[in-house]
């Protein structure tokens, strides 16, 4: 069984362990608020295309979604941010990234940007997606590319249902659902990794600050 290296708190959480409430200034900890990311379409498309490239250009969209979820999860635990910014859910077939799943399945209610249409095909033979052309990786950091490589090396060889069964077993944030979906909060993942409420509040404040800066720059 593959080792889940992403289960251990990463450098980011180890750094947070020395951040005290006093160092967080006068920021009030609101237990009702949660960490909220915003979907980055271009980064998500580049990450998906990168995984397809190193896998040989074709895989089932179910496995691709799981690998992207694991990469987002690993980045959250080590850096305090995800790659795609997508919303995570538990579904019957395991954890998913909501918008990525709808894009890969070409859900008619979801708009598909050129970043996806140029590089990743619609599902062929019902479940497979293929790399149409190499995509740039300029939106991805070296650390993010390394995480994508590591996740693919550990789990990319698995088929759909073996990977589904494994993730059901090893991901503490996953909730079994028979139908529909259940939201997976980033806070829950960090809490399972050993983060305190104060540390999670600090991550949330950092994410809100970076999101505000991103909005001003766009």
- Secondary structure (H, E, C), 8-21: CCCHHHHHHCCCCC
Grouped pLDDT means (10 residues each) for the chain, 218 residues: 43 43 41 85 98 98 98 96 98 96 94 94 92 97 98 97 96 94 97 94 91 75
* Whole-angstrom distance, CA of residue 161 vs CA of residue 94: 10
Q: Which two three-digit tokens encode residue 92?
A: 């019957």
**Whole-number Å distance between alpha carbons of 160 and 83:** 22
User: What is the predicted pLDDT for the residue at 28?
Assistant: 44
Query: Residue 143: how many CA atoms within 13 Å on its side-chain side?
Result: 14
Q: Of all helices (H) and strands (E), which one includes residue 92?
A: none
- Nearest one of 161, 125, 137 to 54, comparing CA atoms: 137
Q: From CA 87, how far away is CA 37, in angstroms rounded?
A: 8
- Assign 3-state DSSP to the chain and report helix, strand, coil percentages, each to 5: 50, 10, 40
Output DSSP code: residue 138: T
C-alpha 6: how far from its chain's center? 12
Q: Which residues contact 8 (CB under 8 A, 6 or more apart)?
A: 77, 193
Write down the pLDDT at residue 107.
Answer: 93
Q: Domain locations in the chain?
A: 34-217
Q: In whole angstroms, how far apart are CA 9 and each of 2, 13, 217?
A: 18, 6, 31
Q: Which two tokens stand for residue 97?
A: 């990234």
Task: Report d(CA 188, CA 35) in Å as an integer.
Answer: 10
Residue 87 is classified by DSSP as P
Residue of 63, 138, 46, 53 whose CA lies nearest to 97: 63
């Amino acid at each position: 069984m593959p080792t889940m290296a992403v289960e251990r708190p990463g450098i980011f959480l180890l750094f947070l362990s020395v951040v005290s409430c006093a160092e967080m200034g006068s920021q009030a900890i609101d237990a009702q608020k949660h960490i909220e990311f915003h979907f980055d379409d271009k980064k998500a498309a580049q990450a998906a295309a990168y995984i397809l490239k190193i896998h040989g250009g074709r895989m089932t969209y179910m496995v691709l979604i799981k690998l992207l979820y694991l990469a987002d999860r690993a980045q959250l635990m080590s850096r305090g941010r995800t790659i795609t910014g997508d919303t995570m859910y538990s579904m019957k077939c395991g954890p998913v990234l909501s918008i990525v799943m709808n894009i890969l399945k070409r859900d008619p209610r979801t708009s598909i940007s050129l970043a996806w249409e140029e590089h990743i095909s619609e599902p062929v033979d019902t479940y497979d997606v293929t790399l149409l052309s190499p995509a740039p990786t300029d939106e991805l950091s070296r650390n993010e590319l390394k995480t994508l490589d590591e996740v693919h090396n550990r789990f990319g060889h698995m088929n759909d249902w073996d990977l589904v069964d494994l993730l059901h077993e090893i991901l503490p944030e996953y909730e079994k659902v028979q139908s529909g979906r259940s939201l997976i909060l980033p806070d829950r993942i960090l809490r399972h990794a050993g983060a305190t409420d104060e540390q999670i509040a600090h991550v949330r404040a950092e994410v809100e600050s970076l999101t505000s800066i991103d909005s001003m720059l766009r």
